[in-house]
Amino acid sequence: MDRLPTWPVAAGSLLLGFGVAQATGIRPLGGIVLVAAATWCTLRWRRAAGAGRAGVLLGVYVAAFAVSHLIADTLGSWPAVLLAAGVTGFAAWELADGGAARRTAAV
């Protein structure tokens, strides 16, 4: 279970959370998805990459979520969420998943 990468969960939860909120019309349900995924990812990031990187990645997750709301009027809702998910997924891969994989391969 420790080898499961976090980037698909981090990116996918932004998509799923928005989809749940939009499909049900109940925004807090989407928020539950986001909080659960962010908590799981942050715990994994802390184990894989340390507390500092975990904090940075959680900041990226929250900032991407917030910025997606700001740019949704310009890009559209789904494109804004896709962009947020892409940025978040890339950051998670680069700072936790990819880096952890490179360190393991180097040992």
Rounded Cα distance, 16 and 3, in Å: 22
DSSP H helical segments within the chain, as ranges?
7-24, 27-49, 51-75, 77-92, 98-106
pLDDT at 45: 96
Radius of gyration of the chain (CA): 14
Q: What is the pLDDT of residue 20?
A: 98
What is the reported pLDDT for 8?
97
Whether residue 89 contacts residue 15, with contact meaning beta carbons closer than 8 Å, is answered with no
What are the residue boundaries of the structural domains of the chain, listed by start? 7-106
* pLDDT tens by residue, the chain, 107 residues: 567 899 999 999 999 999 999 999 999 999 999 999 999 999 999 999 999 999 999 999 999 999 999 999 999 999 999 999 999 999 999 999 986 545 555 55
Answer whether 98's CB lies under 8 Å from 64's CB: no
